[in-house]
Structure 1
Amino acid sequence: MNFFRPLFISLRLWFTLTGFVLAFVLAYAVPLLFPLVQVAFVVFLFLIGLDGWLLFRTEAGLFARREVPDRLSNGDQNPLTVYLENRYAFRVDTEVIDEIPFQFQRRDVLFRAQLQARETRAIRYELRPTRRGEYSFGAVNVFVLSPLGLLKRRYQFEQGKLVAVYPSFLQMRQYELLAATNRLNEVGVKRIRRLGHSTEFEQVRPYTTGDDVRTVNWKATARRSDPRGASLQINAYQDERSQPVYCLIDKGRVMRSPFEGLTLLDYAINASLVLSNIALLKQDRAGLLTFSDHIGQLLPADRRAGQLLKIMEVLYRQKTRFQETDYESVYATVRTNIRQRSLLLLFTNFETVSGMQRQLPYLRRLAKDHLLLVIFFENTELRALLDQPTPDTEAIYLKTIGEKFAYEKKQIVKELGQYGIQTILTAPENLTANTVNKYLELKARNMI
């Protein structure tokens, strides 16, 4: 049984057997062909035996290894590699079937490769997970055919591997790298000119060409004057640091809507991770609060080493709930635990003005003590509907309803702005860039 378990029959063998059946039928009608068909069939049986001997005479004729990261990035294309090594003394054809996790719902992970004797080959492909959690990989199945191509021998490697899918750390690294090289404009982040200067004093230093003459410190200049001439001294300022930045993530039912495979909650989580990293790079303190019908987890703002890892671990465990969000509990938690004025980025979704107005009293109270930025989403499916032509009365009716909903989104932005509440209305795919843009704009305007 151990011999027959890895043994499989190729299509070439089935087709050849079908041909011999037809040949024997023809030989029944033409007896002169019968001896020739018999000899050919005996030769064919010998070739089958030879093929089996070639494939099974070497105990480990082929080696394969799957290289998969310990963590996958949610919503991104993650590279995977299958390495093949032919240890036979002849050329082989291979069929590689990788048993990927069921969450991907794919049945097309099949690769074919031809390897010469002692050749090594790398097969690369990508997977895009759309849910956080643990993913279980199965075996790497490699079917080997000799040059005769009649039989197949199956090899199995990498029996089971558990991989965790985390929030989009690949996107976070991309933004971090572009920020370090001043190329954030490549992902849609605008260059924002800082207005004025911050009020955090750094030092008194000598004046150099290009400094703002309004920062001249005349008293220090008088004290340091010498007979050869006065040396101007200026006050040097630095960017204000250690400003608390909190991402408030709504996990209620309004965040379960899927767009391109990801829920709104996953878009918010990915954007929160990127923004927290950018805030830490800007020397601000990053924190986190998750909530739905009750408060989830509160991570106080900090910028010490390991804070980003704590944020990632908290975001990894978040799940949407079907209940309506309790904003009263959010306000009470913020008032109790966040005493210093902070930038609060509230990731939520409002579909109607009436839905927003029910929560408006709590939003106004939050905006009274903190700088509140409400981030909610455009309905991209609705936008696609509005761009379509209207060939009949039903299409006109649907488009009219869609325009009403789109107008309500704009009304929400307008009404929140009347109370001094900052807003971002964005498509899910543009969430990260728009959020980082707004954060940099608020810092440039010295609002935080």
Structure 2
Amino acid sequence: MKKLFRKLYTDLFLENRLFIALGICSAMFLFAFFLPILGDLPYIAFGVLLLLILIDIYLLHSSKKAVFLRRDVPERLSNGDDNELKIYLENFYPFQVAIGIIDEIPFQFQKRDLWFNTTLKSREQKIINYFLRPTKRGQYDFGFTRLFVKSPLGLVSRRFNVAGKEMVPVYPSFLKLREYELMAISNRLTDVGIKKIRRVGHSMEFDQVKNYVAGDDFRTINWKATARRADFMVNTYTEERSQHIYCVIDKSRAMKMPFEGMSLLDYAINASLILSSVALIKQDKAGLITIAEKTKNVVLADKRPTQLNKIMEVLYKEKTRYLETDMEALFVSLRSALKQRSLVVFFTNFESMSALERQLPYLKRIAKYHLLLVVFFENTTLRTLSDEQAKDVEGIYIKTIAEKFAYEKRLMVKELSKHGILTLLTAPQNLTVNVVNRYLAIKARQQL
């Protein structure tokens, strides 16, 4: 009995309507002191209010099966994307109820005002949808979903604690990966900025011999097959397949810089996952290497169906280190792990010319054995500052410094190109599209 009363007390909350009614009763008692004509009216009003409170409490606790709630959370969340979550509600009371919902989402979102209001008629069902955008990978712990149910009287509310605690992992951007795959199937990649690259010449990888149709290149006529069939036959060629594509991700402190809530490392991880997916669709072999003060993880290039999941599991656990990148260790790892010429896409960041000069000798040595594409990031904040009009001396100083850093970035591109190293300077939000475009261009031009 004591336990039941304790639960009733802890789950009972007073509503604004009750406080308004108590205020009116208090005012009536006050006026009755000066106006005897009111007589016992304040006592009657207060007694009616107490009776209504008891009725309200009885209505909220009269049904054994009151309100059903289920929170539908995906098995995993996609980093940097809007993930849809659902709250399913059903009312088993014989009357309409007003419901307030607090969902205890993980602390990583730093959001304490997630509150939903709704009304449900008897036996009515409803689904509430909302979206969460995580900006860090790892484990996210959801708490309780708390319901505050009010009867039509609305004097008190009853709290229900349902949909208990659960842990959901946040993986690299697999929602965007799925979007790219669907667009690739429907030939709608241009919707997200993927360009159609004009193929220069044709690959020397033979595909098949087929009948000549208008528009085929005369230079591909197979004269021997033509003589046998007494009809024009042409050779067809396909893009070279099974080329090795490695994404190398720098995890040093240079990749900790934030942009729109996500670090540069997270942008690089999302782009690597999508680039690996595109490479596998193109029948190439995708691999992965992560590097900081030493080589951390090496996933050898392969094109098996399970390769993408293997890459995703490695990327899920990666975190930024706070030391310098050991480029010598990277060169040694590439020489030992890569047995043939490969496309090495190196995601890193250089903020000064001196930082590039320290790493340049190792980049030149890597480019000697492989096709190296260095991807680093444009500082969009500095670009905004350099584009703004200076209004005072301080503004001129800031604008000059911003332009100096932006000019250094362009110098880095020229310096790398001078040594035969491919470069891609891009804003973080355009990273994925630009990297995929560059990969398709390399394939079309047969640079690898």
Q: Does the residue aligned with 1:383 lie in a helix, a strand or coil?
A: helix
Q: Is the Cα contact below 8 Å between 1:28 and 1:34 reproduced in 2?
A: no
Task: Give the deviation of 1:109 after TM superposition.
Answer: 0.8
Answer yes or no: is 1:69 the counterpart of 2:74. yes
Task: Give the deviation of 1:8 after TM superposition.
Answer: 1.0
Q: Does the residue aligned with 2:99 lie in a helix, a strand or coil?
A: strand
Q: Is the Cα contact below 8 Å between 2:356 and 2:412 reproduced in 1?
A: yes
Q: Is the Cα contact below 8 Å between 1:290 and 1:298 reproduced in 2?
A: yes
Match of 1:202 in 2: 207
Task: Give the deviation of 1:30 after TM superposition.
Answer: 1.7
Answer yes or no: is 1:219 the counterpart of 2:233. no
Task: Give the deviation of 1:350 after TM superposition.
Answer: 0.6
Deviations 1:13-67 (A, max 9, x none): 1222122122212212222224011111111111001101100011221111111
Equivalences for 1:16-415 in 2 at 5 Å? 16-222=21-227, 224=228, 230-415=230-415
Rounded to whole Å, the distance in 2 between the matches of 1:150 and 1:57 is 16
Q: Is the Cα contact below 8 Å between 2:239 and 2:443 reproduced in 1?
A: no
* Paired amino acid for 1:195: V
Range that drifts further, 208-217 or 305-314: 208-217
Deviations 1:84-119 (A, max 9, x none): 101111111000110000000001210000111111
Q: Does the residue aligned with 1:210 lie in a helix, a strand or coil?
A: coil
* Paired amino acid for 1:409: K
Q: Does the residue aligned with 1:2 lie in a helix, a strand or coil?
A: helix
Range that drifts further, 199-208 or 405-414: 199-208
Rounded to whole Å, the distance in 2 between the matches of 1:101 and 1:19 is 42
User: Using a 3 Å threshold, how does the CA distance of structure 1 residues 205 and 294 change in structure 2: closer, same or farther?
Assistant: same
Q: Does the residue aligned with 1:290 lie in a helix, a strand or coil?
A: strand
Rounded to whole Å, the distance in 2 between the matches of 1:146 and 1:357 is 71
For structure 1, the residue ranges without an aligned partner over 5 or more in a row are none
Q: Is the Cα contact below 8 Å between 1:250 and 1:291 reproduced in 2?
A: yes
Rounded to whole Å, the distance in 2 between the matches of 1:100 and 1:303 is 38
Task: Give the deviation of 1:83 after TM superposition.
Answer: 0.9
Rounded to whole Å, the distance in 1 between the matches of 2:301 and 2:442 is 18
Match of 2:3 in 1: none
Answer yes or no: is 1:7 the counterpart of 2:12. yes
Q: Is the Cα contact below 8 Å between 1:24 and 1:34 reproduced in 2?
A: no
Aligned length: 443
* Paired amino acid for 1:363: L
* Paired amino acid for 1:142: L
Q: Is the Cα contact below 8 Å between 2:87 and 2:129 reproduced in 1?
A: yes
Task: Give the deviation of 1:234 after TM superposition.
Answer: 2.1
Match of 1:446 in 2: 446
User: Scaled by the length of structure 2, what TM-score is found?
Assistant: 0.97
Task: Give the deviation of 1:219 after TM superposition.
Answer: 3.0
Deviations 1:64-92 (A, max 9, x none): 11111010000000001111101111111
* Paired amino acid for 1:89: P
Q: Does the residue aligned with 2:40 lie in a helix, a strand or coil?
A: helix
Range that drifts further, 245-254 or 108-117: 108-117
Task: Give the deviation of 1:143 after TM superposition.
Answer: 0.4
Rounded to whole Å, the distance in 2 between the matches of 1:34 and 1:319 is 75
Task: Give the deviation of 1:388 after TM superposition.
Answer: 1.9
Rounded to whole Å, the distance in 2 between the matches of 1:252 and 1:23 is 71
Q: Does the residue aligned with 1:389 lie in a helix, a strand or coil?
A: coil
Q: Structure 1 stretches (4+) deviating beyond 3 angstroms?
A: none
* Paired amino acid for 1:301: A
* Paired amino acid for 1:410: R
Range that drifts further, 256-265 or 349-358: 349-358
User: Scaled by the length of structure 1, what TM-score is found?
Assistant: 0.97
* Paired amino acid for 2:219: R
Task: Give the deviation of 1:167 after TM superposition.
Answer: 0.2
Task: Give the deviation of 1:265 after TM superposition.
Answer: 0.1
RMSD: 1.0
